[in-house]
Chain A
Amino acid sequence: MEFFIQILIAAVVMGTPLLFATLGGVISERAGVINLGMEGLMLVGALVAFVVMLNTENYFYAVAAAALASGLVSIIHGVVCLMLRASQIASGLALTFFGTGLSGLFGDKLMGETVEPLSRIPIPGLHAIPVLGPVLFNHDVLVYFSYVCVGLSWWLLYKTRLGLNIRSMGEAPEVCDSLGLSVMAYRFFAVIAGGMLIGIGGAYFPLALTPFWVDGITGGRGWIAVALVIFAFWDPVKALGGAYLFGLALALELRLQILGIDISPYFLKMLPFVLTILVLTLVTIRNNRRGIQVMPAALGKVFFRGEKH
């Protein structure tokens, strides 16, 4: 039982940076802008969080600075694919290379520096619940913040006028445009807000998981988040489940070995991606029959104002 709970705790811990990044991706893609630059944005967030933490020893500043930095870098993505109308795919990939290189360049001098990792703060009352308590309510403050972000993203997307408009931008930007809404402004907002969340996901690495700087600290998790956005059907609540499921896959790879269960590690490694393809295929088939579209209809499409359809 103890072992089982430890697996679930590890799944939540490993899933948290994925969750932040996926939420960021969901918001951006709901407005119709694909972001393949997640890995780069996470690395920028991780580096900035570490540097600020090192100098101020203040977790709040570190997280805020990471969000700000990744938000700023996302503006590049916005300018390239919204203002210059270049391919979102190409711009996103370029952003990943940019972020990876940038963090490597400035991180060069930080070797050997360490910071104090976030400590666990059990939530009074809740952490005593059997199983759920230790698994969900005995974590560091960023994990709790990720719960809040799930709720906030859901509320923003489904319960506010702003969210309705963001979602509309991803479905039918030309209609929004004819209603007098600025497609450019809403999409920029979504790209930057999403970028900030992705940056916080990156910040989780040096602030909690591995409290030092090393090149490529995220270990390619940004790419898993790219798949997760699709897996979660562009929905913040499903993103929560998806992130923990993928976190579980990461945690299981090690724990199955402890149990002596012989499963090929390569199988477990490809599992997130296979699951994404599988779920996407099944649901697309089902939805096509019913005529419902899960994917934002205008996702990845360049919007030209005044274009006739």
Chain B
Amino acid sequence: MRKLISIMISVTLTLLLVGGTAWAGKPSVGFVYVGPVGDGGWTHAHDLGRKALEAAGHETSYVESVPEGDSERVIRKMARKHDIVFTTSFGYMDPTLKVAKQYPDKTFLHCSGFKQGKNMGNYFGRMYQAKYLAAMIGAGMSKKGRIGIVGSQPIPEIIRHINAITLGAQQVNPNIEVEVLWINSWFDPAKESDAAQALIDNGADVIVTMADSAATVQTSKKNGVYAIGNDTDMAIYGKEAHLTAAIWNWDVYYLAAVKAVENGTWKPGSDWWGLDSGIVGLTSFHPDVPQALIVQMNREKGRILSGATDVFDHGFTKQDGTRVTKALSDGEMLGMSYYVKGIISKAPSS
């Protein structure tokens, strides 16, 4: 990744020397969000990235809580106003592509999808790597050897994360049991809380959430068990329970992507950045986490950073008992619909 960036920089400099397309003033940037910026999770994390652009001197604006089905007109409005438009939900993919064709001189970047155009690229981060590491901490802190996961929407991305959590947990405790409950929603605090309660009632003593609010952290605190946060640092909602959180640092990507557009070096492509770029990471740990566990986790983190390993490349067993021995391709990871062994719940059928 570093190499890529240095190539990008040298190409940029060359282009500038030969009189490439330098921007008159900094490009302005628009964001389309699926949730409210106050969700304390997914959208909040993107908005922190937007603020970083603002701090870097870019003019920005955003529209929040845009329903996926009604996003096209919002995206079009942003395209008229801004040079670059980021659309940050899977369901914005087709509308973004459509608007991108209508505004060929603007740049569009869509988060978590797979379609591209002449002036549209997509981007995402390898969150499963951070989840995998966070789960090592979780498994080490579970006395009952049972992790409960509050699942959001049963789509391949979340199933991938759940599998990564299970594999990470098994690094520390090979016999760990993982139970999953789907709330079938990205955001429903009361139900997230009820799901956490049901998992705790059923024996879990570490709760990992895939949903957007901090409700599960609160419920874990109330029950005296541990929790792992999602997307942003959720420790403020219950530091007694919060072990760590796997978080997004979108500023890393937004600054680089906008810079590339500004310098005229941007090309449509699919950016799937990993732990090494800093786009995903972990927050600081609960004081109860023993140093030895952190050392063990850091060793695995070092192996991921150096490229010696990735989560799904050193073989694992599926829930049905079939053994996967070769490393998964990005395509296989993006379409994951089965559980790995160690998860005691049934995989969603739809």
Contact = CB atoms under 8 A, between A and B. Distances in A.
Interface of A: 6, 10, 13-14, 17, 104, 107-108, 111-112, 114, 117, 205, 209-212, 214-221, 250-251, 253-255, 257-258, 260, 262, 264-266, 269
Contact of B189 (A104, A107, A209): A209
B202 interface: yes
27 contacts: A14-B194, A17-B190, A104-B36, A111-B38, A111-B40, A112-B236, A114-B236, A114-B238, A205-B190, A209-B193, A210-B189, A210-B218, A214-B38, A214-B213, A214-B214, A215-B38, A216-B39, A216-B187, A219-B189, A219-B190, A221-B190, A253-B183, A254-B181, A257-B345, A262-B346, A264-B350, A266-B184
A265 B184 contact: yes
Interface in B169-221: 179-185, 187-195, 197-198, 201-202, 213-215, 218
B267 interface: no
B47 to A, nearest CB: 11
B222 interface: yes
Given A111-B38, A210-B189, A265-B184, A251 B237 contact: no
A221 B195 CA distance: 17
Which of B37, B65, B191 has the most chain A CB atoms closer than 10 A to its own CB?
B191
B177 to A, nearest CB: 13
Contacts, number: 101
B198 A10 contact: yes
Interface of B: 35-40, 44, 65, 179-185, 187-195, 197-198, 201-202, 213-215, 218, 222, 236-238, 345-346, 349-350
Which 6 A-B residue pairings sit nearest by Cβ, starting from the closest?
A: A215-B36, A112-B236, A219-B188, A265-B184, A210-B189, A215-B38
Nearest to A260: B346
Contacts of A262: 346, 349
B315 to A, nearest CB: 28
Contacts of B214: 212, 214
Given A112-B237, A215-B38, A250 B191 contact: yes
Nearest to B189: A210
Contacts of B237: 112, 114, 212
Given A111-B40, A117-B222, A205 B189 contact: yes
A253 B184 contact: yes
Contacts of B350: 264
A207 B214 CA distance: 15
B337 to A, nearest CB: 15
A97 to B, nearest CB: 12
A107 B194 contact: no
B198 A255 contact: yes
A112 B39 CA distance: 10
A263 B228 CA distance: 28
Nearest to B219: A210
B69 to A, nearest CB: 16
Given A10-B194, A117-B222, A219-B188, A108 B38 contact: yes
B186 to A, nearest CB: 11
Contacts of A104: 36, 38
